[in-house]
Structure 1
Amino acid sequence: MALDVAPKIAISGWVEVIVRDRHGKPKYVVTLAKGNPTPIVPKGVLPETQVLFYFRKNVVTNAGLAEIIKLVFNLGGTPFEYVAIGTGTTSESATDTALENEIARKKASVSQTTTTITNDTALLEATFSKADGLSGSKTISEAGVFNASSGGTLLARKTFTGVPVNFDAGDSITIRYYIQMSR
C-alpha cells in the first residue's frame, strides 16, 4: 500500500547553453528554465538574433530517480558528475537512458547554489571545445547529466532548438545544468 506523504519532494531542472566564438564572445545563449517568465539574459544585452530563450520543464529520468534513492540511503549509488552534449532532436522522456545522439561527455564542475531554499540546487557546468577532440560544425540540440564518463545512468535530459557550433573555427559551448530539489 502506497502512502501519500506531504509535503512532496520534487526534482526539476533547467539548462543554460552558451556558445562562444574563439575570442570568448557569446554567439548564442539558450536558457531552458523551469517556471521562469523572465529571461535570464535581458533583451538588449546581446543582439536579438543571438539570444534564444525557452522555458520548458526538464525531464528527470526513472533510472535517475532510482539512483538518487541509492545515493540518499547509502545503497551504493554513484554521484552525477558528467555532462554530455548531442545532436538528437527527439523529445526527452522519463524512460530515456541515454542521449539520442551523444557527441561528447566530460566531467563537470559541480557546485551547490540557492534557488528557493538555501543550497537546494546543484549546478553542473562543462565547456566543450576543440581541445576535447571535437571538430567540424555541429548543431547541438540536447544535453544530459550522467554518473559515469561513458555509459552510466542518465539523471536528466533536455532537448532544445539546435545551436550551431563550429569547433574548427574555435567555437566552444558551455552547458550549465541545474538540478533543484523542492517541496
Structure 2
Amino acid sequence: MFSRFKKWLFRRIKTLLVRSDGIGYRDEAILEVIHDGKVIERRVAKGRCPTNAGFAAVAARVGGITEDAFTYLAVGTGSTGELATNTTLEAEITTGGLARAAATVTRETTTVANDTLQLVHEWAATVEHLVRECGAFNLAAAGDMLGRKTFGLVTVPSGDHLKLTYKFPFSAA
C-alpha cells in the first residue's frame, strides 16, 4: 500500500512541477574563477531541467519520507547537455582540490520570502582543471542529484579558486 502511495505522490508532484499552472523549480548555477581575491571569469547557466531523481527526493522530503537533504556540490568535465534522466555528473572531478564538497546552504528570496534554496562552495585548485558541468547532491558520494548544469569550458588554474553558487527557486510555474 505504501509503495503505491509513494508512486502516486511522485507522479502527482512531477505533474505539478512540470505543468505551467503548478508549483515548480528551476535552477541557476553561477561559476566564478577567483585569482588573488578577484573574479577573473564568471559563467551563468539557467534553466528548467530538474532531474527525475530530484523530483522524487523533493516529493519524499515534502511528504515527510526520510530523504537526505541536498547539501553537496560537485563539478566535472562532461559537456553533454542536461537531461531529466541524469543521475550523476558525466565526469565528476574527484582530485586536485575540486572534489565534491559540503556547501553552505541558505534560503534566499527570489519572489516571496525564502522561496529559493541556495548552495555555495568555494574550492582551491591544486592542479589546473577544465570544468564544464556542476551538480547538487544529497550525499558526499553517490546519492541523488537534484540538478545538473553545463557550461562552456572554464579553466581553473592551479592556485586559483572556483566558487559555485547553485540556486533552486521554487515558484508557481
Question: Of 71, 91, 101, which aligns to 1:106?
Answer: 101
The total of aligned residue pairs comes to 153
Deviations 1:120-172 (A, max 9, x none): 10110011114xxxx321111100000000000001000010110012xx111
Could you tell me which residue of structure 1 aligns to residue 3 of structure 2?
none
Q: Distance in 2 between matches of 1:118 and 1:78?
A: 24
* Unaligned runs of at least 5 residues, structure 1: 34-56
Q: Distance in 2 between matches of 1:26 and 1:157?
A: 23
Could you tell me which residue of structure 2 aligns to residue 122 of structure 1?
117
Question: Of 136, 153, 162, which aligns to 1:145?
Answer: 136
Quick one: which amino acid aligns to residue 24 of structure 2? Answer: A
Quick one: which amino acid aligns to residue 76 of structure 1? Answer: T
Query: Conserved in 2, the CA contact under 8 Å of 1:89 and 1:142?
Result: yes
2:80 pairs with 1:90: yes
Matching of residues 137-176 of structure 1 within 5 Å: 137-167=128-158, 170-176=159-165
* Unaligned runs of at least 5 residues, structure 2: 1-7, 94-98
Question: Of 13, 32, 35, which aligns to 1:18?
Answer: 32
Query: Conserved in 2, the CA contact under 8 Å of 1:58 and 1:157?
Result: no
- Secondary structure, counterpart of 2:100 in structure 1: strand
Could you tell me which residue of structure 1 aligns to residue 96 of structure 2?
none
- Secondary structure, counterpart of 1:80 in structure 2: coil
**Are residues 58 and 84 of structure 1, via their aligned partners in 2, closer, same or farther at CA, if it must alter by over 3 Å?**
farther
Query: Conserved in 1, the CA contact under 8 Å of 2:32 and 2:164?
Result: yes
More helix by share: 2
TM-score (normalizing by structure 1): 0.79
